[in-house]
């Protein structure tokens, strides 16, 4: 109605306020805005993601998970036992990237993360890129076949979060090859014969012959 003011992601049409895209409605007083979710990561319990620490609270950390929602990592869900009066920046500081697990998403879209479990850790060095979360299955490949081929060709460590954030660690020139390869997969994910094209691309970029293991 006319009582409300359209803001970010919305517009007025006569006496209605219309959303300009698929999103979550946020009403603050008389102001209505939407947070776009189309194309963005929607967190699910059980996902392993890469997140960035954006704030530190009394009882834990706020994480940017490249979504319309933030996540919370409570002190109780850290890897080690942390004393109540401990300096939390000694564990994870603002700007740090971590591999973490989503353990709960409530109906109000409150997202809880945990560092308990194999492979959960702070990421040191390397570079971070953002890929389209909907293309993650193609970047990883069947049973990890695509990402294994990229790792073997470039000798880089690569971790692909289900939220589309990717960590790459290797020599600077090989890290760049990985970035170019991932961007190519994103562009061409819908075209058949992707594995063969990526193999040829990596062979050209690295000057190495690549053997593909057949995945059933």
Domain edges within the chain: 5-36, 48-122, 127-206
Alpha helix segments (H runs only) across the chain: 136-140, 145-154, 172-188, 194-206
Residue 120 scores a pLDDT above 90: yes
Q: How confident is the model over 110-119, as pLDDT tens digits?
A: 899 999 999 9
Residue 38 scores a pLDDT above 60: no
What does the block give as tokens for 40?
A: 């963005």
What does the block give as tokens for 114?
A: 């945990």
Which pLDDT score, from 0 to 100, does residue 7 have?
60
Which pLDDT score, from 0 to 100, does residue 84 have?
84
CA distance 95 to 54: 6
Query: What are the backbone dihedrals phi and psi of residue 29, each rounded to the nearest 5 degrees, phi first?
Result: 65, -120
As a whole number, mean pLDDT of residues 81-101 equals 94
As a whole number, mean pLDDT of residues 187-191 equals 88
Which pLDDT score, from 0 to 100, does residue 60 have?
96
**One-letter-per-residue 3-state SS of 67-106:** ECCEEEEEHHHCCCCCCCCCCHHHCCCCCCEEEEEEEEEC
Residue 37 scores a pLDDT above 60: no
Which pLDDT score, from 0 to 100, does residue 3 have?
65
Which pLDDT score, from 0 to 100, does residue 104 have?
94
Q: Please name which of 210, 124, 201, 139 lies closest in space to residue 169, comparing C-alpha atoms.
A: 124
> What CATH number should be reported for the domain whose range is 127-206?
3.30.1370.10
Please tell me if the domain spanning 48-122 has the same topology as the one spanning 127-206. Answer: no
CA distance 13 to 148: 51
Q: How confident is the model over 167-178, as pLDDT tens digits?
A: 999 999 999 999
CATH architecture assignment, domain 48-122: Beta Barrel (2.40)
Where residue 80 falls among pLDDT bands split at 50, 70, 90? confident
Q: What is the pTM of this model?
A: 0.80
Cα-Cα end-to-end distance for the chain: 57
Which pLDDT score, from 0 to 100, does residue 12 have?
64
As a whole number, mean pLDDT of residues 20-32 equals 64
Q: Is residue 65 classed exposed, middle or buried when 0-12, 13-18 and 19+ CB atoms within 10 A define those classes?
A: buried
Q: Is residue 58 classed exposed, middle or buried when 0-12, 13-18 and 19+ CB atoms within 10 A define those classes?
A: exposed
């Amino acid at each position: 109605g006319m009582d409300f003011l359209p803001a970010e992601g919305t517009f007025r049409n006569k006496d209605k306020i219309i959303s300009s895209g698929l999103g979550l409605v946020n009403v603050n007083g008389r102001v209505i805005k939407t947070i776009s979710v189309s194309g963005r990561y929607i967190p699910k319990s059980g996902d392993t993601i890469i997140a960035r620490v954006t704030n530190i609270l009394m009882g834990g950390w706020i994480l940017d998970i490249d979504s319309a929602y933030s996540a919370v990592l409570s002190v109780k869900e850290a890897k080690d036992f942390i004393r109540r009066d401990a300096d939390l920046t000694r564990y994870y500081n603002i700007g740090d990237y971590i591999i973490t697990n989503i353990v709960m998403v409530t109906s109000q879209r409150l997202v809880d993360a945990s560092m308990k479990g194999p492979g959960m850790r702070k990421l040191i060095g390397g570079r971070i890129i953002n890929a389209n979360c909907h293309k993650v299955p193609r970047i990883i490949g069947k049973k990890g076949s695509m990402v294994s081929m990229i790792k073997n060709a470039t000798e880089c460590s690569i971790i692909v979060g289900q939220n589309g954030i990717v960590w790459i660690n290797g020599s600077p020139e090989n890290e760049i090859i990985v970035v170019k390869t991932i961007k190519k997969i994103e562009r061409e994910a819908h075209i058949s014969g992707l594995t063969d094209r990526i193999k040829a691309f990596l062979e050209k970029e690295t000057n190495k012959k690549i053997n593909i293991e057949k995945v059933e």
